[in-house]
């Protein structure tokens, strides 16, 4: 068994990713989140050390979004200050959801899937991240997947941005089976929920496998809730996720270095073939 997990292709894109990706919502936002325990947003030094560790462990995907508070800006500032840091990462970005802090300090999301806003959002993310291109850009759905796809033309906008060279691949973070399949009709990747507690979107995985499309998994540990019970819920979760051949990458949103190490070790175990 290799020391680090091998990179996996995102079907049809030419992009190779580590089985685990690092979610960065906790880099920039601790309001209005669904994690079971409260957390403090890490400082720049803690983020750099976490990124260094993730790189050492073979992780090459960073998942970020405008809805993740200051995550994009903080990453971009670190990329600017640390030579060569940006080149280590496949960035999975988002468009469509915005997050603002409310008077009660809880935060509020709102959505805009118009062509004008998507173009603005991508250009803003490129500037925030201090980069010329974002490898993967996903529409951040509010749950009304099919109507968003059919009525806004959002995936056509991302396809145009791909032709312009501002992104390399496109897709949608969906919440329904119908939406996931509809997204894969037009785009490269669907990001779906799939874990021990929720396997309702498995038909999207099957569709992706049959049609050479990419799959990213969100909430592999049910936002941490699945890890509160069972003998080894992390390993069981990853065996489920990577038991389906369509899966390229599962996004894990930890800021705890030890949890990151444990997750990568569990991933190696989940991917290892019996002797």
Predicted local distance difference test score (pLDDT) of residue 39? 72
Domain that holds residue 185: 8-267
Nearest residue to 60 (alpha-carbon basis) of 97, 9, 25, 13: 9
Catalytic residue among 68, 120, 194, 207: 68
Whether 273 is in a domain gets the answer no
Is the pTM above the cut of 0.85? yes
**Mean pLDDT, 10 residues at a time, over the chain (275 residues)?**
80 96 93 66 96 97 96 97 96 95 72 97 98 98 97 98 98 98 98 95 98 97 64 90 97 95 95 75
d(CA 155, CA 64): 19
Give the pair of three-digit tokens for residue 78: 């670190």
List, as own/partner pairs, every contact residues 40-43 make where C-beta atoms lie below 8 angstroms and the sequence separation is at least 24, other chains included: 41/69, 42/255
Strands 97-100 and 108-111: antiparallel
Give the pair of three-digit tokens for residue 161: 């941005």
Give the pair of three-digit tokens for residue 4: 């680090």
d(CA 43, CA 239): 33
Whether 3 is in a domain gets the answer no
CA angle 63, 32, 198 (to 5 degrees): 65
Whether 122 is in a domain gets the answer yes
- The answer to whether 4 is a known catalytic residue is no
Give the pair of three-digit tokens for residue 155: 């995936």
Whether 274 is in a domain gets the answer no
Strand (E) or helix (H) holding 260: helix 257-271
Whether 272 is in a domain gets the answer no
Predicted local distance difference test score (pLDDT) of residue 179? 98
Strands 15-17 and 8-10: antiparallel
Work out how many domains the chain is built from and give that number. Answer: 1
Predicted local distance difference test score (pLDDT) of residue 31? 72
Give the pair of three-digit tokens for residue 265: 């070790």
Give the pair of three-digit tokens for residue 149: 């796809």
User: Residue 51: which CATH number?
Assistant: 3.20.20.100
In a 13 Å sphere around the CA of 263, the CA atoms on its Cβ side amount to 29
Quote the crossing angle between the two packed helices 145-152 and 177-186, to the nearest 10°. 30
Whether 200 is in a domain gets the answer yes
Whether 1 is in a domain gets the answer no
Predicted local distance difference test score (pLDDT) of residue 130? 98
Whether 215 is in a domain gets the answer yes
């Amino acid at each position: 068994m290799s020391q680090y997990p091998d990179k996996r292709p995102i079907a049809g894109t030419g992009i190779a990713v580590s089985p685990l990706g690092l979610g960065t919502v906790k880099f920039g936002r601790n309001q209005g989140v669904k994690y079971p325990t409260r957390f403090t947003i890490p400082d720049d030094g803690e983020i750099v050390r976490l990124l260094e560790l993730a790189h050492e462990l073979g992780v090459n995907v960073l998942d970020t979004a405008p809805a993740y508070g200051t995550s994009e800006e903080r990453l971009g500032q670190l990329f600017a200050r640390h030579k060569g840091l940006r080149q280590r990462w496949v960035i999975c970005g988002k468009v469509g959801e915005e997050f603002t802090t409310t008077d009660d300090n809880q935060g509020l999301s709102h959505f805009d899937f118009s062509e004008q806003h998507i173009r603005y959002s991508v250009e803003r993310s490129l500037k925030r991240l201090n980069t010329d291109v974002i490898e993967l850009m996903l529409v951040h759905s509010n749950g009304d997947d099919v109507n968003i796809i059919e009525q806004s033309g959002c995936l056509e906008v991302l396809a145009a941005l791909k032709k312009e060279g501002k992104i390399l691949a496109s897709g949608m973070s969906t919440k329904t089976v119908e939406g996931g399949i509809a997204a894969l009709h037009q785009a490269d990747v669907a990001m779906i929920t799939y874990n021990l507690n929720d396997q309702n979107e498995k038909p999207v995985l099957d569709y992706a496998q049959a049609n050479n499309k990419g799959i990213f998994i969100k909430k592999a540990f049910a936002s941490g809730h699945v890890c509160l019970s069972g003998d080894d819920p992390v390993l069981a979760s990853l065996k489920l996720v990577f038991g389906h051949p369509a899966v390229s990458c599962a996004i894990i949103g930890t800021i705890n270095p030890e949890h990151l190490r444990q997750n990568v070790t569990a991933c190696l175990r989940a991917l290892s073939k019996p002797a």
